[in-house]
Amino acid sequence: MSPGRQPGSLTTRLLASQIGVSVAMALTMVVVAAVAGPPLFKAHMQEAGHTSPELLEHSQVAFDTAGMLALGIGLAIAATGAIIVSVLITGRLRRSLTDLGEAATHISEGDYRLRVASADSRELATLADSFNTMADKLAGVEQSRRRLLTDLAHEIRTPLASMEICVESLEDGVIEPGPEAWQILSSQIDRISRLADDLGQVSAAEEGRLNLDLRPTDPNVLAETAVLVARDEFERKQVELQLHPYLDGALSAEADPARIGQVLGNLLANALRHTPLGGRVDVTVIADGDKVGLQVSDNGDGIAAEHLSQIFERFYRVDSARDRDHGGTGVGLAISRAIARAHGGELSAISEGLGSGSTFTLRLSRAAGTSEKLHPTP
Ligand code: ADP
């Protein structure tokens, strides 16, 4: 379409095309009837023994008149039918397209509630379904963007409020400038900078900016290293830490060892935080179909079913006050899952419920050409 030229109406176009087809059909019939009709009619009359010229001429006129009348009526009916069909079809099309257009306008203005009704033709119904799915997704993205901003404001406000109180107390002479005040201020600054780091990492992982150094890696070594790093902390808190390597053949995962070390470190820190003194945490390496699994399970607090799907969201804490006091930013699992997904893997959690412990499973792709032995571990 050339710029500035308005496209024609759908009804007019459909009507014009239907009338065009009817006229072409009628013209063809007129031409065929005019060329082939009279000689055929005459031949049939003569075969039947009618040779009188007046009778033949009279019959010919009657034949021509009847033929033209039939064609004229037929053409009028076809044109009327074309108009009715065009108006009905375009009426329906127009209703569906207008609904879609209105809904799209609402969405572009930031109102994500409007949905379009399913149309009665398959193609329009598919279009309406796809549109509604897109609107649902956009509404979800918008909702999580708003929640993220609210949570972020809340997370920043808490340490800022502590710093404000501390500075005011210093000004009023309620507390002396000294180690105690510096300790309060520096711990809150630490908290804000940890939050900024964590958020930066989730965004980087989710946007694929992590620059992973992927290479075939022995998952037993990954698990062993993570256990070695965490061992001291576990001993201090008197929580048993057990490693169960995969011993049923060679296993290799496509992984960035440093990033996976970070995920396992986070899972182990969480497990330790949520397992009481005398409890136990197990790190198990499993072969799981075309994936390699690294499991961290504990027999501690457990997670209630209603929280299980949410713990991977940014800032989600099951017990906000207590978990915040432990120093977590509520972003650890979001980072871990984003890293797992950046690897083409997944991080999931199961728990029988409160008091029954939890199991976190990190699944990674097997390194190419290493699918020799598959013994799924239960
Ligand atoms: P944080 O950094 O604050 O620990 P995470 O994203 O790592 O946040 O964890 C989110 C929430 O999931 C935590 O607040 C905690 O309630 C819950 N959680 C994580 N790991 C475990 C676990 N092993 N057992 C029980 N709850 C857990």
Give pTM, 2 decimals.
0.66
Mean pLDDT of the chain: 85
Residue 320 alpha carbon, nearest atom of ligand 1: 14
**Cβ atoms of 311 and 177 closer than 8 Å:** no
Q: Using CB atoms within 10 Å of the CB of residue 114, give its burial: 0 to 12 exposed, 13 to 18 middle, 19+ buried.
A: middle
Whether residue 303 has its Cβ less than 6 Å from ligand 1: yes
Q: How far is the CA of 211 from the centre of ligand 1 (A)?
A: 26
Whole-number Cα distances in Å, 90 to 75, 82, 87, 301 = 22, 12, 5, 63
Residue with tokens 């050339």: 2
DSSP for 353-375, please give it. Answer: STTS-EEEEEEEEBPTT------
Structure confidence at residue 324 (pLDDT): 60
* Sign, CA torsion 95/118/125/107: positive
Structure confidence at residue 202 (pLDDT): 81
| d(C-alpha 291, C-alpha 347), whole Å | 12
pLDDT band, very low/low/confident/very high, at 264 (cuts 50, 70, 90): very high
Whether residue 317 has its Cβ less than 6 Å from ligand 1: yes
DSSP for 54-82, please give it. Answer: HHHHHHHHHHHHHHHHHHHHHHHHHHHHH
With H, G, I as helix, E, B as strand and everything else as coil, classify residue 287: strand
List beta partners, residue 287.
Answer: 292
Whether residue 298 has its Cβ less than 6 Å from ligand 1: yes
To test the ligand 1 pocket, which listed residue (197, 272, 317) has its Cβ within 8 A of the most ligand atoms?
317
Q: Output the residue whose Cα is nearest ligand 1's atom 7.
A: 332
Structure confidence at residue 296 (pLDDT): 98
At a CB cut-off of 8 Å and minimum separation 6, what does 327 contact?
191
| d(C-alpha 312, C-alpha 305), whole Å | 13
| d(C-alpha 34, C-alpha 32), whole Å | 6
pLDDT in tens, 108-156: 898 888 888 877 778 888 888 999 999 998 988 888 788 778 878 887 8
The two structure tokens encoding residue 183: 């300790």
